[in-house]
Amino acid sequence: MNWNKKDLLGLEELSKEELEHILATAESFKEVSTREIKKVPALRGKTVVNLFYEPSTRTRVSFEVAAKRLSADVINIATETSSVKKGETLIDTGRNIQALKADIIVMRHNYSGAAVMLARHVDISVVNAGDGWHEHPTQALLDIFTLKEKLGRIEGLQVAIVGDIAHSRVARSNIWGLTKLGAEVTVCAPKILIPPGIEEMGAKVSLNINEALKNADAVNVLRMQFERDELNAFPKQLEYFKEFGITKERLKEAKKGIVVMHPGPINRGVEMSSEVADGANSVILEQVTNGIAVRMAVLFLVAQARDINANTH
Amino acid sequence: MQILIKGGRVVDPANNIDGIFDILVENSKIAKVAKNIKDEAKLVIDAADKIVLPGLVDMHVHLREPGREDKETVESGTMAAARGGVTTLLAMPNTFPAIDSAENVSLLKEIIKNSAKVNVLICGAISRQRLGKELTDIAGLRSAGVVVISDDGSSVDDQALLLEALKKANQEDVLVSSHCEDKSLSGNGVVNRGFNATRLGLRGISKESEYLRVERDIELAEKSGTRMHIAHVSCSESVEIIAKAKKKGVKVTSEAAPHHFALNEEAVLGYDTNMKMNPPLRSKQDVEAIKKGLKSGVIDAIASDHAPHTENEKDIEFDRAEFGVIGLETELSVAITELVEKDVLDWKKLVEKMSYNPAKILGIAKGALGVGSDADIVIIDPSKEWLVKKEDFLSKSKNSAFIGKKLKGVVEYTFCSGKIIYKAKE
Ligand SMILES: [Zn+2]
Ligand SMILES: [Zn+2]
C-alpha cells in the first residue's frame, strides 16, 4: 500500500489497511534493534524535534531512540526551557520549528486537539505523542503490535481496558485501533470514569472487573491518577485496588495465558499488584521494546509521505 | 430626498403584506406602499426579482465597546450589521466597564451617537459588574435609556437577587433577558456533552446545565408576574419547557441563534475554535427541535449572539480559545439557507422572527413597512449565492462559524431611516 499521510494525529482517522501497514513496517524495523550496530540510514539528514509540553520521559526517550536508530538528528524542546512559558502560541512555536528546517515535530501536549491544530498550521510532519484526553496513537500501536506478536492476531480477540477511561488518550486510541482491526473491546472502570457515548466508539462497558476479565484474551491496565478532581469520589487508592486492581487471584479466574499490558509508569499496588506486573502474563517490558519499532515505523512513514508529496507538487 | 423602490416583493407581516409593491421613501420615513407609484424620486431602485423586508432587529449583539475595541467597536459592529441587513440591534452589557450604571449608559450613548451606523438599543446589567451579588439601579438604568437588562455571559445564580430584579423590572417595564447556564453543571466544559466530546477528549457541557436554569428562571418570572426573554435556546428540553410555560400563559419569549439551527456538534470535529460557543453546538436532534420551535412559534426570534474575538484569542488550543462567534453579517443568509430553502419557515415567518417579533418584544416601533414607519429597509436577492470569506467581513473580528460555506440570499441594499447605509458591490 502507498502511505500518503504526512502526519499521525490519531488512530480514528486511519483505515484498517493503514493500521496494518504501520504494524508491518514496524515488524521490519524491529530487527534493527537486535543488530550490533542498531542503526539504519532511513532518515539520515532529517531532523526530528521532540516538542513536549508535558513531562514524559518514557515517551520522549522512546521517540528519541527510534529517531536515532533511523539516523535522524534529534532536538528536544521541553516546556521548562522553551519560550512556551513566555506566552508564545503553539502556532508560532510550530512555525519557528519549521523555519529551522526541521522535518518532523513529535508533540506531547496537555490540551486535546493540540496536534491537530499544529498540523493544520505547519507543512512539516506532526506526530502526536499524546494530546490531552484525545489520542496517543503510537502507544496504542505498540500495544496492538505487542498483542499481535503474542497472540498471532488481532481479529476476534477480546480486549479489556481497565482504569480511568474518561481521561485516557491511551484508551481512546486503543478502542479505535483495536475495533478497526476486528477485536472486541470492553472498557471497565467505576461509573464516574466512563465517559458518555463511549459505546458509540465501538466499546462495550463493564463496571465489574471480574466480568470484564472473564473472556478477555488481553487486559490493558491504565495508570490511575488520583490527583484528579473527579477522583475525589474514590478517596482511597486501596479501595480502587480492591475493586478494580489486577491481582493474581483475579487472573486465576480469567483465561489462561491472558496478556497483561500497561502503558507505564505503573503504580504498583494501585492498578495492579507487583506479582502481576512482574508475572508471566505481563508483557510490559516487551511493550517498551516494541515502542521503538513502532515509532521508527511511524517516523519513517510520515517522512516518506512528505517527501513524496513534495516531489509531486 | 425621495427614494423609490420599484417592483420588489414586499414581505411585511406587520401589515399582512406579501406581494409586488413599490415603496416610496421620503426623508426618513416610508411615504407610500402601493402598486405602480408614479411619484418623482431622486433615486429609483429596480427591485424586480428582489425581496424587500423591514430592516432586521437583532436583540443579542456584543459590540465590545467600551473596553475591548480590539475585538469590535460600535462603528465596526454596526457596519457589519448594515451588511447583514440589521438596522436595529441590542448591545449587550458585558463590556469594560459593564453597562451597570446610568453613567455608563451615558458613556455608551455618546459613543453610539458619534459612530453607530444603525439603531443601537442598550441592554443594562442586572447586577453590578455582572458579578451576581448586588442589584444595579434598574430605575436609574431605565431612565438613562436602557430597555432590557441581562447579565449575559453569566446566569444570575442567586435566586433571591433575580427575583428582586424581576420585580423591579416589572415596575419599570424593562425586559429581563436570561442567559441560562448553571455553572456548577457546565463547569469547565467546552463542547456539548456526549459521544463527540468523548471522542475529541474535550470536557462536555450538559444540556441540564441549560434547561434546568430555563426551568428555574421561568418559574421566577411566573412568580413575579414579569415578562422574561430566554436567550440563545440550544436544546430540545429548553424548547419543551418554554412551550409548556407559554401554554400556561407565562409571559416568556425566546430566541435562537443561527448557529444553533444550522450546525450540530459534529462541526467541532477537527477542533475548529470557530465552532466553540456558549451554549455549545448540540446534537442533530436538538437542531431539529430548534427548527420545530421556530416553526411552531415557541421560539419567537432569531438573534445572532454576535460575539467578536480576535484571532489571538481564537487561534489557540481549543480549551483555551474564547467562546463565541460573529453572526451579524451571515444571520439572514443562514436563515434563508437553513429555514426558508428547507421549508421550515416561509418568508413572512422569517421576517417575523428576524424583525417584527424582536421589535415587539423590545417594545419599539420597528419591524414594519407601513406608511409612516421609519424607512429601515433591506433589499435582498433571494436566489443569489455567496461564499463566506474571512477577508470580506466588516466586523473587526473574523471568528465566523460559516467561513467557507455557500449561503443563499445576498443583501443588496440596507436603508436606515431612509439613508443607504450599505450597498453590495456589483
Ligand atoms: Zn449568553
Ligand atoms: Zn451573548
DSSP chain A: -----S-B--STT--HHHHHHHHHHHHHHHGGGGSSS----TTTT-EEEEEESS--HHHHHHHHHHHHHTT-EEEEEETTTSGGGGT--HHHHHHHHHHTT-SEEEEEESSTTHHHHHHHH-SSEEEEEEETTTB-HHHHHHHHHHHHHHHS--TT-EEEEES--TT-HHHHHHHHHHHHTT-EEEEE--GGGSPTTGGGGTEEEES-HHHHHHT-SEEEEPPP-TTSGGGGGS--HHHHHHHH-B-HHHHHHS-TT-EEE--S---BTTTB-HHHHTSTTB-HHHHHHHHHHHHHHHHHHHHHHHHHHHHH-
Question: Which residue did the predictor score with more confidence, B96 or A270?
Answer: B96
- Provide the β-strand partners of residue B24: B4, B32
Same domain, A297 and A228: no
pLDDT above 90 covers a percentage of chain B that reads: 99
Does A86 participate in catalysis according to the annotation?
A: yes
- The mean predicted confidence, pLDDT, of chain A is 93
A202 touching chain B per CB within 8 A: no
* Dist CA A102 CA B365 (whole Å): 63
Q: What is the mean pLDDT of residues B156-166?
A: 97
* Dist CA B186 CA B163 (whole Å): 23
Which residue in A has a C-alpha nearest to residue B199's C-alpha?
A: A134
Same domain, A242 and A187: yes
**What residues contact B110, with CB distance under 8 A and at least 6 apart?**
none
Asked if B395 and B62 touch (Cβ cutoff 8 Å), the reply is: no
How far is it between the farthest Cα atoms of chain B? 65
CB spacing of B320 vs A91 below 8 angstroms: no
Four-CA torsion A65, A66, A69, A74, nearest 10 degrees: -70
Same domain, A128 and A146: no
Same domain, A143 and A154: yes
The predicted structure's pLDDT at residue A312? 59
Q: What is the mean pLDDT of residues A250-279?
A: 94
> Residues with Cβ within 5 Å of ion ligand 1?
B 152, 179
CB spacing of B200 vs A196 below 8 angstroms: no
Same domain, A150 and A226: yes
Pairing state of beta strands B419-423 and B406-416? antiparallel
Quick one: pLDDT band at residue A228, thresholds 50, 70, 90?
Answer: low
Neighbours of A220 (CB within 10 A): 29
pLDDT tens across A89-130, in order? 999 999 999 999 999 999 999 999 999 999 999 999 999 999
Closest to B326 (Cα-Cα) out of B67, B69, B70, B77: B77
Same domain, A123 and A164: no
The predicted structure's pLDDT at residue A207? 96
Distances (CA, A) of B419 to A55, B25, B377: 61, 10, 9
A279 touching chain B per CB within 8 A: no
> Most A CBs within 10 Å: which of B317, B318, B320, as the mutation test of the A interface?
B317
Same domain, A56 and A148: no
Neighbours of B110 (CB within 10 A): 11
Q: Break chain B into its structural domains and give their ranges.
A: 2-51+374-423, 55-362
Which residue in B has a C-alpha nearest to residue A198's C-alpha?
A: B195
Q: Does residue A1 sit within a domain? A: no
Distances (CA, A) of B34 to A132, A278, B356, B367: 63, 91, 20, 18
A134 touching chain B per CB within 8 A: yes
Which residue in A has a C-alpha nearest to residue B200's C-alpha?
A: A134
Q: Does residue A4 sit within a domain? A: no
| Chain B 33-92, residues with CB within 8 Å of chain A CB atoms | none
Closest ligand to residue B280's CA: 1
CB spacing of B196 vs A196 below 8 angstroms: no
| Residue B405 predicted with pLDDT over 90 | yes
| Chain A 92-111, residues with CB within 8 Å of chain B CB atoms | 109, 111
CATH number, domain with residue A189: 3.40.50.1370
Q: What is the CA radius of gyration of chain B?
A: 20
User: Ligand 2 center to residue A90 CA distance, Å?
Assistant: 28
CB spacing of B201 vs A172 below 8 angstroms: yes
The predicted structure's pLDDT at residue A235? 60
Q: Under DSSP, is residue B115 helix (H, G, I), strand (E, B) or coil?
A: helix
Q: How many residues does chain B have?
A: 426
Count up the domains in chain A and report the number: 2
Q: Range of A292's domain?
A: 16-136+288-308
Same domain, A275 and A154: yes
B192 class by beta-carbon count within 10 Å (0-12 exposed, 13-18 middle, 19+ buried): buried
Q: pTM of the full predicted structure?
A: 0.95
Q: Which residues of B touch A113 (CB under 8 A)?
A: 200-202, 271, 317-318
CA A132 to chain B, closest CA, distance in angstroms equals 7
Q: How many CB pairs under 8 A join A and B?
A: 66
Question: ipTM for the complex?
Answer: 0.94
Q: Under DSSP, is residue B108 helix (H, G, I), strand (E, B) or coil?
A: helix
User: Ligand 2 center to residue B60 CA distance, Å?
Assistant: 6
Q: Does residue A162 sit within a domain? A: yes
Question: Which residue did the predictor score with more confidence, B356 or A85?
Answer: B356
Q: H/E/C letters for each residue in B242-285?
A: HHHHHHHCCCEEEEECHHHHHCCHHHHCCCCHHHCCCCCCCCHH
* Dist CA A273 CA A297 (whole Å): 33
pLDDT tens across B342-395, in order? 999 999 999 999 999 999 999 999 999 999 999 999 999 999 999 999 999 999
Same domain, A102 and A152: no
The predicted structure's pLDDT at residue A313? 52
Quick one: pLDDT band at residue A306, thresholds 50, 70, 90?
Answer: confident
Does A148 participate in catalysis according to the annotation?
A: no
CB spacing of A113 vs B202 below 8 angstroms: yes
Closest to A262 (Cα-Cα) out of A172, A190, A170: A170
The predicted structure's pLDDT at residue A229? 63
Place of cell 466508539: A201
Asked if B382 and B416 touch (Cβ cutoff 8 Å), the reply is: no
CA A117 to chain B, closest CA, distance in angstroms equals 7
Same domain, A218 and A98: no
Does A136 participate in catalysis according to the annotation?
A: yes
pLDDT tens across A175-189, in order? 999 999 999 999 999
Asked if B51 and B85 touch (Cβ cutoff 8 Å), the reply is: no
Q: What is the CA radius of gyration of chain A?
A: 19
Asked if B152 and B100 touch (Cβ cutoff 8 Å), the reply is: no
**What residues contact B249, with CB distance under 8 A and at least 6 apart?**
none
- CA–chain centroid gap for A257, Å, is 23
- The mean predicted confidence, pLDDT, of chain B is 97
B263: which 3 cell numbers? Answer: 450546525
* Dist CA A212 CA A203 (whole Å): 12
User: Class of the B2-51+374-423 domain?
Assistant: mainly beta
Same domain, A152 and A267: yes
Same domain, A159 and A278: yes
The predicted structure's pLDDT at residue B35? 97
**What residues contact B182, with CB distance under 8 A and at least 6 apart?**
B155, B157, B208, B209, B210, B212, B213
The predicted structure's pLDDT at residue B259? 98
| Residue B175 predicted with pLDDT over 80 | yes
User: Ligand 1 center to residue B303 CA distance, Å?
Assistant: 11
Q: Which residues of A touch B313 (CB under 8 A)?
A: none
B266 touching chain A per CB within 8 A: no
| Chain B 229-258, residues with CB within 8 Å of chain A CB atoms | none
- The CATH superfamily holding the domain B55-362 is Metal-dependent hydrolases (3.20.20.140)
